[in-house]
Amino acid sequence: MTGPVPMPNNPQLGACDAALVTRATDAREVLSDHRHEAGFAFDRTGPRTVMNQPGILLNYDGEEHARYRRMLTGAFTVKRVRALAPAISRIVENQLDTLEQAGPGADLIETFAGPVPLLVICELLGAPPQDRDGIQRRSATGTDVANTLDDQLENFAAMAAYMGDLVRRQRERPGDDILGDLIRRHGDVLSDDELIGMGNSILVAGHETVTSMIGMSALALLRDPEQLAIVRDDEAAAPDAVEELLRLLSVAPPLVRQAGTDLELGGQTVKEGERVVLSTLAANHDTALVPDDPDRLDVRRRPVAHLAFGYGAHQCIGQQLARLELRIAVPALLRRLPGLRLDVDLDAVDYRQDALVFGVTKLPVAW
């Protein structure tokens, strides 16, 4: 652990000093210790923003968090997620048609990596596909840390209004989807406000992350034709390859906690109220976790217990869904377009500088 070190300004947290955790064992220790609080920044009386909203799981700790989480876990069981495979395959194949029609020079993010998870989320929340442009725009603005607090508030109001509309429609006629399910089973104890938070957290958490993973996975594989050929040609390779890509790329933003009391971490003292920031990227490249060349992509590597989905009480609830989307989308892309290549120099690839989730802004491809 290093720190405290200054952290860049962020509209959700503000500028602060924080202890920086980079080792896998320290990261696990923090994430499984309830004295490190996740919901410290949630201000129940302050203005609503994309994160400062009831119903968002990361805003709660302890029993309160467990109560919300239990309401959602049923929707994300392995069985429920597996049942989504045909719908995901259909969405992937349709977007591959769109990519082919767009022709060489198309932007992989705009035509494939963005729409696939977005349409999956629309399906999960029972949002009609025609709403997707608005959802995409608002979700991108919500995770752009370059926006001012005023931009965030305005965008959040639009997100809340849209989700509020969806919640009201679903209350009248609950669909066969997560939101409909939540309303059928818990609609009497959950307010519209809480349902808006739960819906929007699924939307934001489950969209940009998968988009970035599809885009960054494609880029990593295009840079390494031998590894690409394994994923394209060996159907059985996908599960381990996806775990390796999740580990290597670790696209999630650094995880932030606050010490609820004075405590020891990595041989140092963290004082009550001090922020602790965990880099899943650094932890997943820790030689204690991956002794053999952790910075190298090896899609045949035996999967390790990586931290790309976090750890402990807040570990990603959508991880099985994310895995399934990646296992379907990445090999399908490589098989449909066996001659896939970058249509720009590697040096010209534009990485997102201001987004919470790590990724590229555009990925022009040809075949």
Which residues 6+ apart lie within 8 Å of 222 measured at CB? Answer: 228, 340, 341, 342, 365
Q: Among residue numbers 217 through 236, which ones bind ligand HEM (CB under 6 A)?
A: none
Q: Among residue numbers 103 through 162, which ones bind ligand HEM (CB under 6 A)?
A: none
Task: By CB under 6 A, tell whether 314 contacts ligand HEM.
Answer: yes
Comparison of 71 and 202: residue with beta carbon closer to ligand HEM: 202
What's the angle, vertex CA 332, arms to CA 327 and CA 336, rounded to 5? 170
- Which DSSP letter does residue 33 get? -
- Applying CB under 6 A, among 18, 50, 109, 213 the residue interacting with ligand HEM is 213
- Applying CB under 6 A, among 190, 228, 270, 317 the residue interacting with ligand HEM is 317
Comparison of 111 and 280: residue with beta carbon closer to ligand HEM: 280
DSSP-assigned states of every residue in 207-247: HHHHHHHHHHHHHHHHT-HHHHHHHHH-GGGHHHHHHHHHH
- Applying CB under 6 A, among 52, 139, 209, 217 the residue interacting with ligand HEM is 209
Task: By CB under 6 A, tell whether 58 contacts ligand HEM.
Answer: yes
As a whole number of Å, the end-to-end CA separation of the chain is: 45
Task: By CB under 6 A, tell whether 210 contacts ligand HEM.
Answer: yes
Q: Pick from 105, 48, 23: which is nearest to 284 by CA?
A: 23
Ramachandran class of 269: left when φ > 0, alpha when ψ lies in -120 to 50, beta otherwise: beta
Interface with ligand HEM by CB under 6 A: which range of 20-28, 146-154, 313-321, 348-356?
Answer: 313-321
Minimum Å gap between C-beta 309 and ligand HEM is 5
Minimum Å gap between C-beta 18 and ligand HEM is 14
Q: Is 69 exposed, middle or buried (0-12, 13-18, 19+ CB in 10 A)?
A: middle
Task: By CB under 6 A, tell whether 327 contacts ligand HEM.
Answer: no
Count CB-CB contacts under 10 A for residue 73.
11
- Applying CB under 6 A, among 251, 265, 290, 329 the residue interacting with ligand HEM is 251
Q: Is 89 exposed, middle or buried (0-12, 13-18, 19+ CB in 10 A)?
A: middle
Task: By CB under 6 A, tell whether 299 contacts ligand HEM.
Answer: no
Q: Tell me the sheet residues that pair with 255.
A: 278
Interface with ligand HEM by CB under 6 A: which range of 127-135, 182-190, 203-211, 339-347?
Answer: 203-211
Count CB-CB contacts under 10 A for residue 19.
24
Interface with ligand HEM by CB under 6 A: which range of 128-136, 208-216, 262-270, 335-343?
Answer: 208-216
Q: Among residue numbers 65 through 84, which ones bind ligand HEM (CB under 6 A)?
A: 69
- Applying CB under 6 A, among 183, 205, 289, 290 the residue interacting with ligand HEM is 205
Residues that bind ligand HEM (CB under 6 A): 38, 57-58, 69, 201-202, 205-206, 209-210, 213, 251-252, 255, 280, 308-310, 314, 316-318, 321-322
